[in-house]
Amino acid sequence: MRKSILDYSRVSQLAKTDIAYAIGDERLIPFYQFTPDLDTFQKVIEEKAGRKYPRTDLVETLRHQYQSLPEKKIVAQNIAALQEESTFTIVTAHQPTLFAGPLYFFYKALTTIRLALEVERKSTGKHRVVSVFVLGSEDHDLEEVNKVNLFGKQLVWQPNESGPVGSMSTASLKDVLAEFSAILGEDDRARALFQRIERCYTGSETFAGATQALLHEFLGDLGLVVLNMNDPRLKKHFIPVIRAELLEQPSFRLVSETIAQLSGNGFKTQATPREINLFYMLPGKRERIVREQDTYQVLNTSIQFTQEQILEELEQHPERFSPNVVLRPLYQEMILPNLAYVGGGGELAYWLERKSLFQYFQIPMPMLVRRHSILWLDRDVLKKLHKAGFTASEFFADTDTLIRNFVEKHASAEVSLEPQIQTLRSMYQQLAEKAKAIDPTLEGSLMAESVKAISGLEQWQSRLVRAEKQKHETALQQIRSLKEKLFPAGGLQERHDNIWPYLLKYGDEFIGLILQYLEPFDPGFVILEEEPVA
């Protein structure tokens, strides 16, 4: 395996804020609490060590959620260890996603696992550090999680339900599981892999439970603990924040002010706050709460509360109140003794908008760690890439640039007329100055003539390039196909491809291989190239 690192600034698919945070842009320093590096973790531990967390309720919740899953010793030990004051977590989070969605779903989990191992090792036995995957099971945006790309085909799950996706029944997955099986194939390896996946879905009543089972099946042996925070035992600890949001709405003001500061530094808004950043949940429903004078209305329903009634409802049923993206980080950090949050660029961008909110509620922020981004190239792809004369990092350029570079490199004669164009431009500029000195009215006519002449040369250059392209059309088509394979629809492989073709080809060893090469805080986009057969 060959590993190389590409600077994030060379990856056009990444957002400005993502790149800025990854490279340590000074403009973002005021918006986070801890510098993201291994040496800073001791400071984070000191900050978190004196705080009280609902460890007993956390452990009881996890044990309840793991009751129906096969026991894995390392997971059981990690759950038990969370009872101890010396145990901390490294957390990532994602919505339950059909068949684990795109590759980055696993990559963020593996980044979290590797970082937890390294932080624990660095603590030299003083602390246990547990990797935790929090399921965003309360999200209700089905369109974000009901699709998966597999061997060039897209599978779509269409449950006849509404409300939180994590609570939806797995019974409606029967047809899409059958499609999945047919696409994987009928050989022994494919059947064995499918049976492992199928058990996770047919053995779980809810979509969140199935996703937990899937992560446990494939990453449990690495110690990953999966937590569904949609639980009344945990929600009761969030009551003070929910009450403050209902009565005072501090998040709207604070986050809006932070967003304005970020915008002033040139960064786009990631998540716009509402006046009340809470949903109300009932079976099959998750709707926004809005305040109209002294009444609280649940949108798209006939449900209304007075202030007294909604506070009573909160005390009796805290599980019915669901934080949106603005408040969710606070909920997570109140429950978990967490040192770091591992997320993609978009996630970290909305965490950067929350610092003042954490300060208001006197909750320390975790360290914000960008998950690894990875481009994987197998032997066949590498062979084609090298045949075309490109390196993996060069292939991050857009298709037009790749084709232009290839044509210029392989042209039978020089196709670029740029030197001649520059000479012509310079010549006309000199002529224009002479003409102006003799008769100022001649300058305009001469410059118009120069535009025509330069345009003619540029057209000839285009004709030369087209003629050269025709000579290499087969090779250029291979470049286009290769670009589409590595960067589907111009996007990133990790945001399109799914992990199952890789596990089908390489087995579970693929997971261990990826984990091995994910050094904490790798300073760029990771490119992994499979070694050629000797």
Q: Mean of the pLDDT values across residues 302-327?
A: 97
pLDDT tens readout for residues 474-514? 788 889 999 999 999 999 999 999 999 999 999 999 999 99
Question: Which of the four pLDDT bands, split at 50, 70 and 90, describes residue 306?
Answer: very high
DSSP character for 169? Answer: B
Question: Which of the four pLDDT bands, split at 50, 70 and 90, describes residue 414?
Answer: low
Average pLDDT for the chain: 93
Q: Are β-strands 367-370 and 295-298 bridged in parallel, bridged antiparallel, or unpaired?
A: unpaired
Instruction: Give the amino acid at 362.
Output: Q
Q: Is 101 left (phi over 0), alpha (psi -120 to 50) or beta?
A: left
The domains located in the chain, with CATH, are 2-235+324-373 (3.40.50), 239-323 (no CATH), 377-491 (no CATH)
pLDDT of the residue at 364: 96
Nearest-10 crossing angle of helices 442-471, 418-438? 170
Give the whole-angstrom CA distance, residue 475 versus residue 147.
33
Closest residue by Cα to residue 113 from 92, 96, 134, 95: 92
79 near 62, Cβ under 8 Å? yes
pLDDT of the residue at 423: 82
Does the pLDDT at position 468 exceed 80?
no
Does the pLDDT at position 434 exceed 70?
yes
